[in-house]
Structure 1
Amino acid sequence: MNRFFLVLILILVSSLTTVTAQNFSTHQVKSGETIDAIAKRYYITPSDIYDLNPDARKELKPNTVLIIPLTKAVKPEITIVKELQGYKTHKTSRKETLYSLAKTYNVTEDEIKKHNTFLYANPLRKGDKLQIPIFKVTEVVKEVKQTKTYTVLPKEGKWRVAYKFGITVKELEDLNPEMGAVLQEGQVLNVPNIEDEEEKVVDENYSYYKVLPKEGFYRLKLKIGVEQEVLESLNPGLKETGLKVGMILKIPFSQVASGIEEASKKIDLTNNIKNFETKHIAVMLPFRLHRVRYDSVSGIKNHINKDPYLNASLDFHSGVLVAIDSLKQLGVSLKVDVYDTKYEVGEVIKIMKENNFENVDAVIGPLTPNTFEKVASELRGLHTPVISPIGENLNLYDNVFQSKPSEKLFRDKIVNYIKADSLVNNIVIVSDSKNTDVANSLLKDFYQAKQVRSRKDKEGKEQNYILIDDIKGTLKPGKNVVFLETNSEGLASNVSSILKSLIQKENKETGKAKIEIVLVTTNFNSAFEGDQISNEHLSSLKFTYAAASKPYNSDAANSFIKKYVGIYKTTPNSRATKGFDLTMDVVLRLVTSDDIYMSVNEAALTQYVENKFAYKKKAFGGYYNEAVYLVKYEDLSIVEIEQ
């Protein structure tokens, strides 16, 4: 029995030691010590100690062992200041080296060389007379800012709190290491202990901008069109402090991207169902079934393969059916009407005349622009929400939901991501003539970028290739970001192959500097998915882009994938997954809010298998989805970049 208890004690002690090493320490109270003194010693607050040692509030006895939360420690910055007092002469012997002398006199090798400049060009020799500097060493302790607590208000994000208390977002995160990516209403934060009247107010009549790395007043003038004097007048204290990375600036109201991105809280609507009344939805797709020959199975299969509209409609509809089944299992009662628009506006008009849409809660589709426009305009009077599965640049009537993010959102996402990367040392823009406008637009964002154009023949015809010498000279040691703007698979293959060959590891022996290359694009298209493209090259280049959806992991335990494979004996493609995701989102918004319009405020961000939805309302119009993924190639797979 004694051996059993001994083993048990060893296990407990071992476990405690592991925890202590990672997050906690212990302190044995000495006679006369106070909680304030102990807290000061470990750079924490008395309340941090009381949280883990509640008995210490009543009485602090000598020899009591307190648990100290090391993760709460806010240690002051200590700067070592050396003041030269004089020199000591030293004559070197045969076996002495700069390293041994530095250790003997408690100085650095560089300090010895600095005061004996002949050593920069000559090695240390026996008999050299050296001046060894003698320093007075002083530790300067930077006082830790006193903090107070602050309770997060509704819809308040990190940048608003940081601006209110005159600090950067990074400084706010440093004060609150466990605050999380998204602030919650009622969350308590540590903030600088300033007077209430010193707190800044976010004025909605102005815009706000987060200063990015390497941005000065001149670059801000080019980017947001605001002079230094205006910035200093709107931001008291800026003249004295200058610009700091992460600083939030008040600027005149502008449509220019602010550089401020706040993560929205992802909501799982399946946990919020409150309305179990039957919901009525309609799905409109261009099946064009009247064109199908039903005389043989082979004939039907052949038609499906040849008709892109039928093919797309069947895929999307298969995902819709799996969503309906999943919603029924959640207790949701649905009435679903499916209409074949035949890819004809006339057929849509006929459907609208022959069917009553007054009690329809939402319409998904049609897929094609003209037919969607007709349905949306016809149902505008009934204020029936109409959700576009794939369209963009639609007429955003007040009843329209554009579920596919716009190309501008993709562009802004990747551009802002690159701007925020302080490690980027060089930017190159490669493009063909069809993407000249895109390249010129990028130059406005990255005015120091170098441009490389696709080669042309003597007649000026685009050849869709570059030579290695065209781009080699534009690269620099360090991190290079190369924008590739093209719709040509040949150019995409050519450029990615050349860039892969130009990646260079550091080699100190040969004097080679490291050359890192990251390939990005503002417009991901089929050119980057063709058979000519090497995924190995894209992975080596960490190919990065913004996308409306991210590929799911087929190995993951996903109920949709398992259910789909069980029914259709094949894995779902992106169209089927979009059908599932969109149907789930539309119906769940109907049963968790009073209507879809209300759900925009109550469900800021929803996410399903491949797609996510964060709708914003246009000032005088409908709703657009601003949720986009940032993804990259890594180890021959496409992974999401967490931000």
Structure 2
Amino acid sequence: MGIIMNSKFFKTVLSFLLILLVTANSYAQKYKTHPVKRGESLESISKTYNVSIEDILVYNKEIKKGQKLTPNTILIVPLDKKMAAVTASLSGDKPVTVTQVKQEEPIRFIEHKAKKRETLYSLAKQYNVTEDDIKRYNKQLYAEQLKKGTVLKIPVYKKEVVDTSVTTTTNSFSEVYEDTPYKFTNYKVKKRETLYGISKQFKVSQDQIKKYNTSLYSDDVKKGMILRIPHFKKVEIKEVVLKSYIVKAKETRWSIANKYGITVDSLLLLNPDLPKSSNYLAEGQELKIPERNIVVRDSLVKTGSEKVPDFITYTVPAKMNFYRLEKAYGVTEEKIKEINPLVKEKGLQEGMNIKIPTLKGKSSSDTQVVNSENFIFYVVRQGQGEMSLSRDLGVSFSELIAFNPALKDGIKSGMVLKLPKSRSTNFTVKNSLILPKINLVDSINVAVRPKVMVLLPFRLDKIDVNNSSTAKKDIDKRLDTKISLGFYSGMQLALETIKKKGVSVDVTAFDTQSTKSVDRVKEILAQENIANYGAIIGPLDPQSIQEVAKKTAGLQIPVVSPNLTEQQIGFGNTFYTLPSNEVLRAKILDYVSSIYTNQNIVIIADSKHKEASDAIMAKFPKAKKVSLIKDLTININKLKYLLSKKVDNFVFVETSNLALSKHATSVVNSLNAKDTKVRMFTTDLNKAFDRDDVDNLLLSNLNFTYPSVNKEITDEEFNKMYRFKFGANPNKYAARGFDIMYDVLLKLAYKNDLFEVSKIVGETEYIANKFNYVNKQNAGFTNTAVYIMQYNDMKIEEVEKVVPKV
């Protein structure tokens, strides 16, 4: 569906086209977040950012002047000192005197001729200065990009270089050294010796030697040079025994660190061979992990714990069935009947008190190890009590005690509780942990300034924006332009919305032009300093997405695809916002299973949709198939024979043929009578079910139900805002553009790392789309969030999630 264009909206589009390539900046206040490195102090950080210690303390009230900083503490550093003072006074603090820090003058300059592919960022890292330091003495860089062959003046400052390394000599966790040297040795450099060799000889890092021999920051070691070699005391960390750990499929650094109660940084310390520039772990890879520092979770789930009962008593509620019991407790119908003879005799009836076996109560033939393979875990939050735990986890407190006997002694913040893995469908679960609901809007860090690139084929190379009549015709003919304009119009509203929440963002849009060539994409990536971006949204075509993902994979920059499902391009930094057909099919079948009691399942599928038919049969083995005449028409008498008058009928129609879809809908509706109740489903809503071609009244009569990547736009505030800005109602592309941009910006504003946020934030939902990303390693991150939609009284509504009340 394209963009609706009246005259007013068309004028807006033309103006919009003219400014598309201009960076869209919305400013709040100027801040930066700084993760404290080992050895850093308030004084060294203040010098790095050229602000006073008092300025930093204004925004970090838990830090006291002179206090030793803990590594990995996140500090908010105001880059505008005057703003820091004003904000402090407005917040009721004592006025802060803004210290005017004189800009440090360089002691000398190094001349550097820019090489191919070098950037300001890489040069700043190479010479241990900031990009602004280089620009200050090379004024032309304020107006133009760095080019090959440019001769630069690189300033050299007399600065103390903060050592951020940790010295280890083996894979032992105990061999860690203090940061301050307790003595020095004078060492005379011999012929052919290198800094690397000397550092290995004395078991210190090269940076530690440079720190106390500052001439080495600009010169190499030479024969006869006298160096001061620092010596550090070893820090003994007791009661930690290391053991080997073999990485399993789909495990991540975070999941392994979490399992053993250590940080990812500690995991890197224990395994120095792990690359620092990538989070990749290979299945079968051997790691060193602490044997005794096991997280509380594992101590709660030891096999054969005597505190776990054999059975729990359960009262059967109305409309309960064996399938839902199995989903809730992981116990089969046969097992329930085996230990409850009355159920075997009379069936499952409302009000019955039955026994349900825990994992301990299973027979030896089906007993599993009680660990993360069959349990999920929940960490108790501060202030949670019996009622809030029961509400958040959807179980009674007595049932929680049955699986977690330690609760009898009281609820404590940080306790790790376990539930059967069969309950996973009720929560967002990653790496066996139930993710808490995180409100991203309430978790915004205004000190973070997300920087995002947008790549879309607006096709300004094909549209004459100076000629209104020609431009309108060209836009009407170009689907790629209409989709791009729809996406970007929604993105503009997302920028305005996030700006109102106090977040500074930097979003730059580029026209990728043709979707059949990646030349323009390559040109954009070559011109831009892509290392500075927190995320890239777009382009639209698979070939261009692959090119962007390839160029940014080494920099660990997330690439968000607005309109593609999972692609086999082999780059793990890609986020696919559209759920795949397999995910859509699985979600609708899970939904039908959740409402299934004893309905009669019938399948109408053509030969091209055998995969869908087989999936339905696998889920419902008693389902019946309708044979088609020439793969196109239904034998009405045979279908009538397959339908039941005793129970309701669920009919699946699987086709991409419009003629068969219309025919099947008409025939099924004709058989939907007072004595034969029929509801129609499909696992794949394609053009064959287009509402403009298929009778909506018939679909409404059949409560037609299907999986969808998006829902109807019902947010009146969004509609009103869009109409005010663009003069027309938003379409699905505009809503999708808003949702994707808003989701990315909120996540970056929460924690400026989309990869990390995706591990800890579950499902998010906005105007008409929702997102829940699962990491499939080299296949990237796939969206598993799906809407189940239903025709009802001539309206299309989202079906409420059916959660078994057990």
Relative to the length of structure 2, the TM-score reads 0.47
Instruction: Summarize the Cα distance change of 1:427–1:333 in structure 2 as closer, same or farther, 3 Å threshold.
Output: same
Match of 1:19 in 2: none
Q: Note the C-alpha offset of 1:546.
A: 1.2
Superposed displacement of residue 482, structure 1: 0.8
What does the per-residue CA deviation read over 1:587-612, in whole Å, with 9 as the maximum and x for residues that have no partner?
A: 11001114111211332121100111
1:494–1:351 Cα change, 3 Å: same
Separation (CA, whole Å) in 2 of partners of 1:451 and 1:192: 43
Q: Write the distance in 1 (CA, Å) between the matches of 2:537 and 2:727.
A: 26
1:35 match:
none
One-letter amino acid matched to 1:482: V
Aligned pairs for 1:489-528 within 5 A? 489-505=658-674, 514-528=675-689
C-alpha change, 1:544 and 1:279, in structure 2 (3 Å) is same
- Give the CA RMSD over aligned residues: 3.4
Q: 1:1-16 counterparts in 2 under 5 A?
A: none
Which residue matches 1:281?
A: 452
Deviation at 1:520, TM superposition (A): 0.7
1:391 corresponds to? 564
Instruction: Find the aligned partners of 1:302 and 1:335 in 2 and give their Cα distance.
Output: 33
| Alignment check: 8 A CA contact 2:553 2:572 kept | yes
Q: Which residue of 2 aligns with 1:485?
A: 654
- State the partner residue of 1:322: 493
Q: Which moved more, 1:300-309 or 1:433-442?
A: 433-442
Match of 2:427 among 241, 248, 263: 263
* Letter aligned with residue 389 of structure 1: P
Task: Judge which range, 413-422 or 470-479, deviates more.
Answer: 413-422
| Counterpart Cα distance in 2 of 1:76 and 1:389 | 47
Of residues 301, 307, 312, the one that matches 2:483 is 312
Letter in 2 for 1:541: L
Separation in structure 2 between the aligned mates of residue 532 and residue 274 of structure 1, nearest angstrom: 48
1:278 to 1:412, Cα distance in 2 relative to 1, 3 A = same
Q: 1:612/1:193 Cα in 2 relative to 1: closer, same or farther (>3 Å)?
A: closer
Tell me what 1:410 maps to: 584
Task: Give, in angstroms, the shift of residue 615 of structure 1.
Answer: 1.3
Q: 1:376 to 1:196 in 2, by over 3 A?
A: closer
Counterpart CA distance in 1 for 2:591 and 2:397 is 27
Q: Aligned pair 1:298/2:469, yes or no? A: yes
Deviation at 1:420, TM superposition (A): 2.7
C-alpha separation in 2, matches of 1:339 and 1:405 = 26
1:183 and 2:354 are equivalent in the alignment: no
Tell me by how many angstroms 1:443 deviates.
2.3
Q: Is the 8 A contact 2:572 2:777 kept in 1?
A: no
Q: Is the 8 A contact 1:423 1:479 kept in 2?
A: no
**In structure 2, what is the Cα distance between the partners aligned to 1:194 and 1:568?**
58
Contact 1:518 1:541 in 2 (8 A): yes
- Displacement of 1:629: 1.2
The amino acid of 1:278's aligned partner reads R
Which residue, 532, 546, 550 being the options, matches 2:707? 546
**Structure 2: 5+ residue stretches without partners:** 1-312, 317-350, 357-371, 379-385, 408-418, 429-435, 802-806
Note the C-alpha offset of 1:278: 2.6
1:212 — aligned with what?
none
Q: In 2, are the aligned partners of 1:396 and 1:623 still within 8 Å (CA)?
A: no
One-letter amino acid of the structure 2 residue matched with residue 493 of structure 1: K
| Correspondences of 1:133-212 after superposition (within 5 Å) | 160=376, 182-183=392-393, 189-191=397-399
Q: Specify the code of the residue in structure 1 equivalent to 2:748.
A: L
Shift of 1:465: 2.9
Task: Return the alpha-carbon distance in structure 2 between the equivalents of residues 442 and 188 of structure 1.
Answer: 34
Partners of 1:195 and 1:434 in 2: CA distance = 47
CA deviations over 1:369-391 (Å, ceiling 9, x no partner) = 11011001111111111111111
Map of 1:369-384 to 2, 5 A cutoff? 369-384=542-557
Whether contact under 8 Å (2:450, 2:752) holds in the other structure is no
Residues 433, 294 of structure 1: alpha-carbon distance in 2 compared, 3 angstrom cutoff:
same
2:728 to 540, 563, 570: 570
Contact 1:424 1:480 in 2 (8 A): no
Contact 2:491 2:737 in 1 (8 A): yes
Pick from 334, 347, 350 the counterpart of residue 505 of structure 2. Answer: 334
Taking structure 1 as reference, are residues 75 and 471 closer, same or farther at Cα in structure 2, changes over 3 Å only? Answer: closer
Unaligned stretches of 5+ in structure 1?
1-73, 78-139, 146-155, 163-175, 200-246, 251-257, 457-461, 506-513
Superposition pairs for residues 21-60 of structure 1, below 5 Å? none
Match of residue 634, structure 1, among 792, 795, 802: 792
Counterpart in 2 of 1:474?
A: 642
Is 1:588 matched up with 2:746?
yes
Question: Within the alignment, does 1:428 sit opposite 2:602 as a pair?
Answer: yes
Deviations along 1:562-610, one digit per CA (max 9) or x if unpaired, are: 1111111111111110000000000110011141112113321211001
Q: When the two structures are aligned, how many residues end up with a matched partner?
A: 412
Paired residue secondary structure (2:634):
coil
- One-letter amino acid matched to 2:585: R
Deviation at 1:419, TM superposition (A): 2.3
Q: Residues 350-369 of structure 1: matches in 2 within 5 Å?
A: 350-369=523-542
The alpha-carbon deviation at position 367 of structure 1 amounts to 0.9
Q: Cα deviations across residues 240-269 of structure 1 (Å, max 9, x unaligned)?
A: xxxxxxx96x8xxxxxxx785123365431
Shift of 1:76: 9.1
What amino acid maps onto 2:661 in structure 1?
Answer: A
